Chains A and B, each alone.
Chain A
């Protein structure tokens, strides 16, 4: 592709402008940067008015599925007389993704502010921020911020003197990828195994503690204060009609400058890889990219000119997911990479559904066998058959999540699988 760079791509930092600025994470620093003014505004607004602004902005959920945020909020019942809850999903655990961590670490008060504004919109009385257990250093920062916000009168009873009451509780997980799935998260929060449940009931009908609940991702909620402050049209100046705004990109794998970059949605993926991240560290050719975290379909090097929008990545048969491209250079054994991805899902399957519990384990074992030199050509057919059996038949999409990379790698790199089976060893490098 076009390496060295064609042009310098500018990052747009509306969400990440204070990343790297340690003072922004303290309450005093946050107030100096205009913090909590948006919360004051929201606390005096009618809930539906807030939902309306977010709906108009076109903001889509940043946890991977891309569901329109304002629409999700509008599913919450009104005047039902029951307590409502907001769960902030900070259980970031998709391989490739490390964006929520940066928000927790640099701008915890932005997240708290976003949570409170969303809570106001859905008429929630309590926000639970479910943070993945391993994130100890970032949970500490968030805990400090929540404590400061309580002490400053920004949370709890009579928020900022407006008479509105809403609490925030930070809740740590204890190691389970599936707790990132919204119903798994709620089960985990209720002290159960993080096993997803069959919908309906949808969270807005009967979520955590059996009550109306909305689950939103960290990045989604952290985007809300800016939208409320500047308006929907402001947010729509970036991105496309169907994918407005900016997105934090988590770039990893074989890259010269891996890391977190905020970009307007829609730039070509190859520009992110070559311009922003400087291509591969040693000038090797890019062989394959998983664009949206490990649960998305592989792209080959000639497919990287696609637009990084929800619709653009769908057009090339993959998805935006968590916007976490994992880049693999020409020295990568793609069978081995796929084996490692499959092992992850086999490890993380919660075990409720047979197709997933058995399927993920079988995929991993077959790939291990091929890698060890004991593969047979019919293994490829078996893997395809597993892809069929594991698609759309389970409570949640964990099984589908391994099918996306698996099927695409079989389709696009079949010659490599066959060569492995025929020669009993790796032909890459």
Chain B
């Protein structure tokens, strides 16, 4: 994945992807990691502003933000690991544990609630055979309930990794799950 990233958009790279590098070692020590760090830092007058972009980078690479990522990011930005942890736990999109290949977020907020969002959530949980927040046995899915995803006119809205699925009905869930399963 060596497409060119302009520094102006380095702090806004999509970070919940089905394809992950599943890196085992350090996050920022790699050529890609140090390049991202440099690009992000170049856009702000203060180092700390790079914190969210770097936590997002960890999730982009790993699928979640690990304690060692938090320590590395803290060291790179002269922050304490405890402070970084307080940020990672404030923002709901950071996964503090690994998630399935497809992170399915079902909106059940008011407009989706009025359009059977709760039933869509139940249908996903039934179809993948896991409880909310758990990784399914095949490792393919983690299903969670989400607050408003900002597409209320197309309820029920479901986000799968970096994609939006709109106008989802409980009846349509099985087809979505099987299509996702079949993806390489």
Contacts and interface: CB of A to CB of B under 8 A. Distances in A.
Contacts of B92: 174-176
A186 B53 CA distance: 15
A96 B152 contact: yes
Contact of A337 (B9, B110, B115): B110
A175 B52 contact: no
Interface SS majority for chain A: mixed
Interface residues of B, number: 52
Interface residues of A, number: 65
B6 interface: yes
A238 to B, nearest CB: 23
Given A170-B9, A172-B11, A250-B152, A326 B52 contact: no
Contacts of A139: 12, 14
B114 A332 contact: yes
A172 B53 contact: yes
Interface string B130-159: 000000000000000011111111110001
Contacts of B77: 191
B18 to A, nearest CB: 12
B116 to A, nearest CB: 11
Contact of B153 (A134, A260, A340): A260
A132 B150 CA distance: 9
Contact of B110 (A96, A100, A140): A96
B93 A174 contact: yes
A270 interface: no
Contacts of B148: 93-96, 177, 344
Contacts of A146: 6, 8-9
Interface stretch (A24-32, A51-59, A251-259): A251-259
A176 to B, nearest CB: 5
Contacts of A170: 8-9, 11-12
Nearest to A337: B110
A101 B150 contact: yes
B50 A191 contact: yes
A340 B8 contact: no
Contacts of B45: 83, 209
Nearest to A139: B12
Contacts of A167: 8, 43
The interface centre, meaning the residue of B91, B111, B113, B162 with most chain A CB atoms within 10 A of its CB, is B111
Given A174-B55, A250-B152, A326-B110, A136 B87 contact: no
A97 B15 CA distance: 23
A137 B87 contact: no
A188 interface: yes
Nearest to B84: A191
Contacts of A101: 150-151
Nearest to A137: B164
A134 B149 CA distance: 7
Given A131-B12, A139-B12, A150-B8, A174 B94 contact: yes
Contacts of A96: 110-111, 148, 152
A190 interface: yes
B171 interface: no
The interface centre, meaning the residue of B49, B55, B148 with most chain A CB atoms within 10 A of its CB, is B148
A189 B114 contact: no
A95 B111 contact: yes
A93 B110 contact: no
Contacts of A175: 91-94
Interface in B6-35: 6, 8-9, 11-16
B48 interface: yes
B11 to A, nearest CB: 5
A191 B52 contact: yes
Interface of A: 83, 92-98, 100-101, 131-137, 139-140, 142-143, 146-147, 150, 155, 167-177, 188-194, 209, 250-254, 258-260, 290, 294, 324, 326, 328, 332, 337, 340-341, 344, 347-348, 350
Given A98-B153, A192-B87, A344-B109, 11 more contacts: A95-B147, A98-B150, A98-B154, A136-B16, A171-B12, A172-B12, A174-B52, A175-B94, A188-B52, A190-B48, A348-B147
7 contacts: A83-B45, A134-B93, A169-B8, A171-B12, A172-B15, A175-B93, A191-B77
